[in-house]
Structure 1
């Protein structure tokens, strides 16, 4: 086993998912559905599969529209993302994500997502998270 394979095998994996709400659904209702309906049903499945962390990054228009104006001047070639949220899961391995996706419990949890999520626009990624600054403290950098 190479050092890279060993690190990958022993390093928690981060799975990210961007979501857009379905047309006709407000951002507020969409986020309320995720937090109050979907997430309470999802957490037991996450725990069953060893997901150690779950975070929801809410990106409302009230934040993105002013940012868009600033970036038009500061970084005119940059685009401001227009999705409603980013969901981040941290688990023991890439196989964990695969196992969740085919788990009948997860399929049941996601049964109503088509009413809320524009799944045709979802964007996923899988990789490793390394913290370099936390609460003002530099970490994981050679001094």
Structure 2
């Protein structure tokens, strides 16, 4: 198992957790509003049950303060055009995915167990097929270190 980093300012902040993010692409014909409704009302509750069963400590759509982190195509198109005008960031572009889900765990084994659960394939992946391009996703994994939370500095 990879060595886990510890917060630098002692035990006043929680232990750093392993964070796995999955960036999904919706199918091109799927309406943005219908997609957001399905993901938050159907997919999220199903994922939570399986994630909880395998000891995943936190699951979110990468935005704790809002109910979801779903990127509607009209917003992505608008900011893509705006970014071309920003001269200080000429190589920047908006990520092309439509939704990001993040899972926090204290071990990679728990994440692997969640993904190997038969319900993951039979419920989660099967339920995504009418909505999400299940042939591709961009994923990230690493330790989640919080430096500012609720206005307080941590991990100094």
SS at match of 2:47: helix
- Runs of at least 5 residues in structure 2 that lack an aligned partner in the other structure: 7-14, 62-68
Q: CA deviation at 1:78?
A: 0.7
Per-residue Cα deviation, 1:64-119 (whole angstroms, up to 9, x for no partner) = 23322332122222111121111101112111111111111222222221111112
Going by fraction, where is helix more abundant, 1 or 2? 1
The correspondence for 2:141, drawn from 121, 126, 129, is: 126
Q: Tell me, yes or no, if the aligned pair for 1:54 and 1:87 is still in contact at 8 Å.
A: yes
Give me the CA root mean square deviation. 2.2
Q: Tell me, yes or no, if the aligned pair for 1:38 and 1:109 is still in contact at 8 Å.
A: no
SS at match of 1:72: helix
Instruction: Give the TM-score of the pair, scaled to structure 1.
Output: 0.84
The yes-or-no answer on 1:42 pairing with 2:47 is: yes
SS at match of 2:135: helix
Q: CA deviation at 1:63?
A: 3.1
The correspondence for 2:120, drawn from 106, 111, 115, is: 106
In structure 1, distance between residues paired with 2:78 and 2:148: 26
Following TM superposition, the consecutive aligned residue runs of length 4 or more in structure 1 with deviations greater than 4 angstroms are: none
In structure 2, distance between residues paired with 1:137 and 1:109: 39
